[in-house]
Structure 1
Amino acid sequence: MLFAHDTDCSLIAAAALVNTAGRDGEGLPDVTALAEFFTAHGWTGRHERTEAELTSVRELRPRLRRVWYADEDEVVTIVNGLLRESAALPQLIRHDDEPYHLHAVPRDAPLATRMAVEAAMALADLVRTGELSRLRLCGHPDCDNVLVDLSKNRSRRFCDAGCGNRAAVTAYRARKAAARP
């Protein structure tokens, strides 16, 4: 394990949240989709299931996306802003049969605030350990998704939207075409 479990989960959830605003359309089209995202990424605590909550989560995405394009100083500015605006106060918490881990806002804080702070805390770990290079853009030329490379050998190149498979098929077809007389 490279990072603490909650850091890994928060980084993966942040990338997934950013990718819901891709060029293929709105990945969070309604409150039901947000509830599915909430469950899929193991969020707990307050979840209002309202249009206002959905709007506030959507509004977080461009700010988080900026992190994947930013240099270290800009990442620090974004992280510090998210933590300051949320009045983050890190504390060790244990809940839902999980071991102690950091929460920096109460579980009853608005969902978008908790998402912002969890992402900021995980990004702070990347900055502190000099691992910002693990934030990557998908290597497929037709994809603008982001990803977090949590592999030991830092070899992940493609997002979770099937781009690795598409690249492999394209390469296979190119090899087959080149082998034909």
Structure 2
Amino acid sequence: MIFGHDTESSLQAVVALINSAEGPDTLTTVRDVDAWYAEHRYTGRRDGDAAELASLRALRPVLRDLLTADRDRAAGLANTMLADAGALPQLVRHDDQDWHLHAVSGDAPLASRVVVETAMAMIDVVRMDETSRLFLCADEGCGGIVLDLTRNRSRRYCSTACGNRNAVAAYRARRGAREA
């Protein structure tokens, strides 16, 4: 594990949230939020309404900016996000998770918790000088963000679909070159 569990979990959740805007938008209903919330094991307040959906959708470009910023800019953005939210980091333990950081109360709106958890995760990324683990998908037609948590930094695509599409295109190009 490169980062702590809570940092990796937050980064995976925010990358999924941001990438939901790529291609066909996959965050269009409250049910989509329910699925994202459950998959990424968020806890705390859920309003489960259209306003919450809209607030998460509105966060995507803001958080994309944070994750694609260079190290110095990411530090400044994270600091601003934490200050704006009145974040107060605290160690907590709940459900089956051991001690980890929360920086806002569980009854804060979901969008606020997502911003703060992402900013906290980016603090670890910046401190460890690992911003190169976040980058844009190598698929030229995709704008998705890749979170590369592999040891050898070998991940290039944001999803299996992008990887498969590029592998098939490379195969067809090789086959076409042989036939020509």
Which runs of 4 or more aligned residues in structure 1 lie more than 3 Å from their structure 2 counterparts after TM superposition? none
Q: What residue in structure 1 maps to residue 16 of structure 2?
A: 16
Alignment of 1:23-42 (within 5 A): 24-42=23-41
Q: What residue in structure 1 maps to residue 101 of structure 2?
A: 102
Matched positions, count: 180
Alignment-mate amino acid for residue 76 of structure 2: T
Q: Assess if the C-alpha contact under 8 Å between 2:136 and 2:144 holds in 1.
A: yes
Q: Assess if the C-alpha contact under 8 Å between 1:47 and 1:110 holds in 2.
A: yes
Q: Distance in 2 between matches of 1:162 and 1:114?
A: 30
Q: What residue in structure 1 maps to residue 164 of structure 2?
A: 165
Alpha-carbon offset, residue 81 of structure 1: 1.4
Consecutive unaligned residues of structure 1, counting only runs of 5 or more, are: none
Q: Assess if the C-alpha contact under 8 Å between 1:138 and 1:147 holds in 2.
A: yes
Consecutive unaligned residues of structure 2, counting only runs of 5 or more, are: none
Q: Distance in 1 between matches of 2:80 and 2:21?
A: 22
CA-to-aligned-CA distance 1:68-102 (integer Å, 9 cap, x gap): 43222221121111111111111111001111111
SS of residue matched to 2:97: coil
Q: Distance in 2 between matches of 1:106 and 1:4?
A: 20
Alpha-carbon offset, residue 25 of structure 1: 3.5
Q: Distance in 1 between matches of 2:106 and 2:67?
A: 27
Alpha-carbon offset, residue 161 of structure 1: 5.2
CA-to-aligned-CA distance 1:13-70 (integer Å, 9 cap, x gap): 1111111122x23321111111111111111111110111111111111111112432
Alignment of 1:149-164 (within 5 A): 149-160=148-159, 162-164=161-163
Q: Assess if the C-alpha contact under 8 Å between 1:90 and 1:104 holds in 2.
A: yes
CA RMSD after TM alignment: 1.2
Q: What residue in structure 1 maps to residue 66 of structure 2?
A: 67
Identity of matched residues, %: 49
Q: What residue in structure 2 maps to residue 131 of structure 1?
A: 130
- TM-score of the pair, normalised by structure 2: 0.95
Alignment-mate amino acid for residue 80 of structure 2: G
Q: Structure 1 stretch 71-80 or stretch 108-117: which is displaced more?
A: 71-80
SS of residue matched to 2:69: coil
Q: Assess if the C-alpha contact under 8 Å between 1:68 and 1:137 holds in 2.
A: no
